[in-house]
Amino acid sequence: MKQAVYYKSKKILINILIHVFLISVAITCLYPLLWMISSSLKTQDMIFKDISLIPHQFRLENYVLAWKEGGFGRNFFNSIIYTVSVVFGIVIVSSMAAYAFSRLRFVGSKFLFIIFMAAMMIPIPGSFVALYVLLNKLHLRNTPIGYILCMINVGLSTSIFLLKTFFDKMPKELEDAARIDGCSKIGIWWHVAIPLAKPVLAVVIVLNALTVWNEYILALIIFDNRSFMPLQVALQSFQGEFVTNYPLLMAGLTITALPIILVYLFMQKYIIKGVTQGAVVG
């Protein structure tokens, strides 16, 4: 009896410690977000005078102002289009390539893979100028397609790397079964590999969505037309040369952070689903 109680209380103690640990980390994560939201509800002169998390008055109109002054409507829409297109593009292109590197044999596969990996590691400073000139020559400069293609390239190496690592770990039995059933390579890729890789795909999606959503400098340099600009560029207009309109900036940043949090919320379910749906061998 005594032993059972001992083990049970040990278990409870461990559980409590784990919860304390989790909660304290969670608090540090939440604080800046709450600070951002509470600042967005204050007025310019109160922001640094009043440091409490709960503002004295709730200036919800800051959000409306931020939306209007930042010209958010169009730019928000643009950001969504770019993010969806790029993520979609990367998922298809990188999963195909990763599958090939992992499972298919062809000349130069190792060489190509190493090149992709090397690309991940060599940042190109001043690549903006190079891309600008390049897109200019291709007549793709002031166009959404040009921007989307550039951004697909940005996330390509890392996504291929992530996916290949997971494909390598994948049990081969299912693929063999599908092949025996007469499935073509594309079919195996689409019907077997992709569903199994759902957790990793979720990570790839979130990673790239975040990158594209938060990108602004390439967009600013490549686009001359205001109506093509993504959200982040519009946000920068609150950070004046000399005067920063903090409440509106915070409101803008909050509006900007929300969609990504939603994407994450949606994707993280797939990480769980991937386990329950994925065929487990053994």
Partner 1 sequence: MLFKNLFLSIFLLFSVIGCSEQKVASKPTINIWHWMTDRDPAFQELAKKYEALTGVKVNFELYAPSDAYSQKIRAAAQGSNLPDIFGILGEKRDFASFIKAGHILDLTSYMEADNNSWENSFFPKALAVNEFASQNSYGIKPGIFGVPIDIMTIQMVYNKKLFTQLGLNPNRPPKTLQEFLDLGAKIKAAGMQGLVSGWGEVWMIDCLANNYAFNIMGKDKVLATIKGEVPYMDPDWIKVFTIFKQMKDSGILAQGLVTMINKSAEQLFANEKAVFAFNGSWCVNVYKGMNPGLEYGSMLPPAASEKYPISIWGGAGSSFMVNARSKNKEEAVKFLVWLTSQDQQAYLATATNNLPANKNSLSKIPEVMAQFARGMDYATHPNVWGVSEFSMVIEAFDRGIQSIIIGEKTPEQVADEVQKIKERELAKKRAK
Partner 2 sequence: MKIRDTLENYVFVLPAVVIFSIFYIIPFIWVFQLGMFEWDGISSAKVFVGLDNFKEIFLQDSNWWHAMWNAGYITLIALTLQNALAFMLAWACDREIKMKNFYRVIFFIPPVLSEVVVGMAWRFIINDIDGANIINRSLISMGLGNFAHNWLSDPQTALTTVAIVHCWKGFGWGFLIFLAGLQTIPRELYEAARVDGASAWQSFKKITLPLMVPIMVLVVILTVLGTMQVFVLIVSLVGGEFAGHTSVPVLRILASMRGSSRFGYACAQGITFGMVLILISFIQYRFSKKGQ
42 binds partner 1 (CB under 8 A): no
User: Applying CB under 8 A, which part among 55-63, 67-75, 78-86, 152-160 lies near partner 2?
Assistant: 152-160
Residue of 9, 172, 275, 277 that binds partner 2 (CB under 8 A): 275
184 binds partner 1 (CB under 8 A): no
Token representation of residue 255? 């509006």
Spatial distance between the Cα atoms of 155 and 153, rounded to a whole number of angstroms: 6
C-alpha to C-alpha distances, 214 to 22, 90, 256, nearest whole angstrom: 28, 17, 9
Nearer residue to partner 1 within complex by CB, 9 or 44:
44
Nearer residue to partner 1 within complex by CB, 113 or 248:
248
92 binds partner 1 (CB under 8 A): yes
Residue of 169, 176, 187, 226 that binds partner 2 (CB under 8 A): 169
| Residue numbers 228-267 binding partner 2 by CB under 8 A | 239, 250, 253, 256-257, 260-261, 264-265
From 116, 115, 216, select the one nearest 156 (Cα to Cα): 116
Alpha helices in the chain (DSSP H): 2-40, 61-69, 72-103, 109-121, 127-137, 144-169, 173-180, 185-188, 194-196, 198-214, 217-222, 231-236, 246-277
From 238, 243, 237, 203, select the one nearest 220 (Cα to Cα): 237
Q: Nearest distance from residue 7's CB to partner 1, in Å?
A: 51
Residue of 6, 13, 15, 177 that binds partner 2 (CB under 8 A): 15
From 137, 130, 170, select the one nearest 153 (Cα to Cα): 130
64 binds partner 2 (CB under 8 A): no
Spatial distance between the Cα atoms of 222 and 281, rounded to a whole number of angstroms: 49
Please check whether residue 202 is in contact with residue 137, taking contact to mean a CB–CB distance below 8 angstroms: no
Helix (H), strand (E), coil (C) string for 115-177: HHHHHHHCCCCCHHHHHHHHHHHCCCCCCHHHHHHHHHHHHHHHHHHHHHHHHHHCCCHHHHH
| Burial of residue 183 (number of CB atoms within 10 Å: 0-12, 13-18, 19+) | middle
Q: Give the number of residues in contact with partner 2, rule: CB under 8 A.
A: 91
Residue of 192, 206, 229, 248 that binds partner 2 (CB under 8 A): 206
Nearer residue to partner 2 within complex by CB, 65 or 119:
119
16 binds partner 2 (CB under 8 A): no
User: Applying CB under 8 A, which part among 20-28, 45-53, 102-110, 168-176 lies near partner 1?
Assistant: 45-53
User: Applying CB under 8 A, which part among 9-17, 27-35, 80-88, 271-279 lies near partner 1?
Assistant: 80-88
Q: Nearest distance from residue 138's CB to partner 1, in Å?
A: 11
Q: Nearest distance from residue 115's CB to partner 2, in Å?
A: 8
User: Applying CB under 8 A, which part among 57-65, 128-136, 174-182, 223-231 lies near partner 2?
Assistant: 128-136
13 binds partner 2 (CB under 8 A): no
